[in-house]
Amino acid sequence: MKPWLRTAFSRPENTKSSTHTSPLIALQLANAARWSSRDYSGLAREGYQRNAVAYRCVRMIAEAAASVAFCTRRNGECVQQDPVQTLLDNPNPNHSRAELMESLYGYLQLSGNGYLEVVCVDDVPKALFTLRPDRMSVRTDNRGCPLSWEYEVGGRARCFITDTLTGRSKLHHMRLFNPVDDIYGFSPLEAAAQAVDVHNAGGVWTKALLDNSARPSGALIYNSAGKNGERLSDEQFARLKSELETNHAGAQAAGRPLLLEGGLDWKPMSMSPHDMDFINARREAAREIALAFGVPPMLLGIPGDNTYANYKEANLAFWRQTILPLVQKTADSIGTWLGLWFGEDLSLHVELDKIPALSSERALIWNRLKDVDFLSDDEKRDMVGIAKHMPDERGAK
């Protein structure tokens, strides 16, 4: 039975049955909306762990972005045998490059913040690790600038302080733009939090409907009420209520006949088309979640999306508008951070030619440049993001 119908069946304890000559049902729908917590644990629980749409969006972004490799360059020239490239390809003994970057991108989507820790041997970076955002806290000065970061786990805290002489810090903080906070970032999941609550509530409503014989409840009407003051006694009322909840509630009781006696009549309550609109509300909530993360709804299988002509166009827009900006921002951020140890000539670039989703688009650019005779080979390479041609060991071009 529905909770509000069950409330209608309840009888006040201090009310005598002889004082009422007619049944009274009061229905109140003035309750305010309840929203889930907006802290990291609440967002991760309600959004990532309990919502299939948000979960899929985070996984798609994190896995797609982590599949893009970085190319180490020195003064614009690609260098394969470089300690930075070795560090990125093998960040630590427990995680591969893809696993490390997937964690970093995932934390950015869930909390708007990502943290990388570098482990140095003789002041040379040798390993990289990701740290959970919810365990990190910042200490600021009177101007609001970070003085140090503290990472607490298991009752023990580690402090990360920036070297004032070299500007180096073993902790690197990445953040998504937040207009109301100078330090912490703002996550897409937080922007989609209300849509996540609506989508989750729709799922709970559907589950409750299935538990109630997969159909809306009805009302029992006592036809003899009001005649000569007759009314169900407390014992009859309790027995009827117990019988309904025990024998006629739940999916297992679907279709079971109800035996009525003593002037009782069952009036089923069907749902109007307006009541059925919660299905469309869930779909719109799913679209809002996808919009907040920058994932085309077509890629998630959400019906009713006609923004893109086909799946290929939607996938290309996903890479161009969501994945590449995130990856390029990460490459610039990590390159600047590691450059404090490995030199200012260091830069990290995205290898676009190794992204299968952009192969058709890159082929068009190659075909356009192939017949251009007023550009040198190095200029063409620079336009497509490839390092300049390096001479071989014999010095020949």
What is the residue extent of each domain of the chain?
1-14+24-217+275-350, 220-251+260-268, 358-397
Please say if the pLDDT value at position 42 is more than 50.
yes
Q: Which of 196, 386, 165 is nearest to 293 (CA)?
A: 196
**Using CB atoms within 10 A of its CB, is residue 59 exposed (0-12), middle (13-18) or buried (19+)?**
middle
pLDDT digits (tens, 9 = 90+) for 232-259: 677 777 777 777 667 666 555 555 566 6
Give the span between the Cα atoms of 175 and 250, in whole angstroms. 47
Q: Which residue pairs from 329-333 have beta carbons closer than 8 angstroms and sit at least 24 positions apart in sequence? A: 330/65, 330/101, 330/104, 330/105, 330/174, 331/70, 333/172, 333/174
Q: Decide: 200 and 286 in contact? Cβ < 8 Å.
A: no
Minimum mean pLDDT among 31-45, 172-186, 200-214, 380-394: which range? 380-394
Here the tokens at position 369 are 């440049």
Other Cβ atoms within 10 Å of 308 Cβ, number: 17
Please write the tens of the pLDDT for every residue from 302-331: 877 767 778 888 899 999 999 999 999 999
Q: What percent of the chain has pLDDT over 70?
A: 72
Q: Which two structure tokens, joined as six digits, stand for 203?
A: 């799922």
* Average pLDDT taken over every residue of the chain: 79
Q: Are 110 and 48 in contact (CB under 8 A)?
A: yes
Choice between 220 and 203, residue whose per-residue pLDDT is larger: 203
Is the pLDDT at 12 greater than 60? The verdict is no
Instruction: Please state the pTM of the whole predicted model.
Output: 0.75
Cβ pair 215, 251 in contact under 8 A: no
User: pLDDT tens, 68-103?
Assistant: 999 998 887 888 788 999 999 999 999 999 999 999
The better pLDDT of the pair 392, 212 is held by 212
* Per-residue pLDDT tens digits for 351-363: 887 888 877 777 7
More confident residue, 184 or 79: 184
Q: What percent of the chain has pLDDT over 90?
A: 40
Q: Please report which helix (H) or strand (E) contains residue 267, including its range.
A: strand 264-268
pLDDT digits (tens, 9 = 90+) for 210-235: 676 555 566 666 666 555 556 667 77
